[in-house]
Amino acid sequence: VPVEDLMKPIEGLADTAMGPAEAKVTIVEYASMTCGHCAAFHKDVYPELKKNYIDTGKAKFILREFPLDPLATAAFMLARELGEKRDAVVDLLFSQQKNWAFSDKPLDGLANVLKQAGLGQEKFEAVLKDQTLYENVNKGRNHAAEKFGVNSTPTFFINGDKYTGEMSVADLDQIIAAKSAAKPSN
């Protein structure tokens, strides 16, 4: 996928990038909040990715929404509502996924988890009724499917190359090392 196409955010849905803009390696992850593989990545691999590459300036990371179901769409909408806390809320939702996504009353579970992030019930309900945000999240999902062939989560693009499924720290180390050493194409 051409990197310049991949880096264009969806109108109305700003990217939240972690790491320096000028990093040699750019990782874009398409994830679903209700995907167990995505939760495992964020619990087991992402902390090492952040420590070894993002925090050291070697990589830039962007998480984009690719909800697999309406509950995942709702979770992303709510995370976006928390602005600068979005990434922390995404981490919280992935770490608590079993307590809301796979419960008998998932919306109640989601509301309870988000209370920890300071989102009250009134705001929770208002965000879920935000049709524009709902449409933008789904527009981003559809764009990824149509333009980049994303059809499962997690899907990663590392400097434009597509990788699907769970990745280990060792997988990322190997790919990032190769991308860091590669000369940019002109």
Contact 169, 45 (CB under 8 A): yes
| pLDDT for the residue numbered 62 | 95
Q: What are phi and psi of 63, to 5 degrees?
A: -100, 125
Contact 29, 61 (CB under 8 A): yes
CA distance 58 to 69: 33
- Across the chain, where does the E strand assignment appear? 17-18, 25-31, 59-65, 155-158, 161-164
Nearest Cα to Cα of residue 54 among 99, 8, 87, 9: 87
Q: Please tell me whether the overall predicted TM-score, pTM, comes out greater than 0.85 for this model.
A: yes
| pLDDT for the residue numbered 10 | 84
What are the pLDDT tens digits along the chain (186 aa)?
888 888 888 888 888 889 999 999 999 999 999 999 999 999 999 999 999 999 999 999 999 999 999 999 999 999 998 888 888 899 999 999 999 999 999 999 999 999 988 899 999 999 999 999 999 999 999 999 999 999 999 999 999 999 999 999 999 999 999 998 876 554
| pLDDT for the residue numbered 183 | 64
| pLDDT for the residue numbered 71 | 96
Contact 127, 81 (CB under 8 A): yes
Q: Which two tokens stand for residue 39?
A: 């939760």
Contact 139, 13 (CB under 8 A): yes
Pairing verdict, β 59-65 and 25-31: parallel
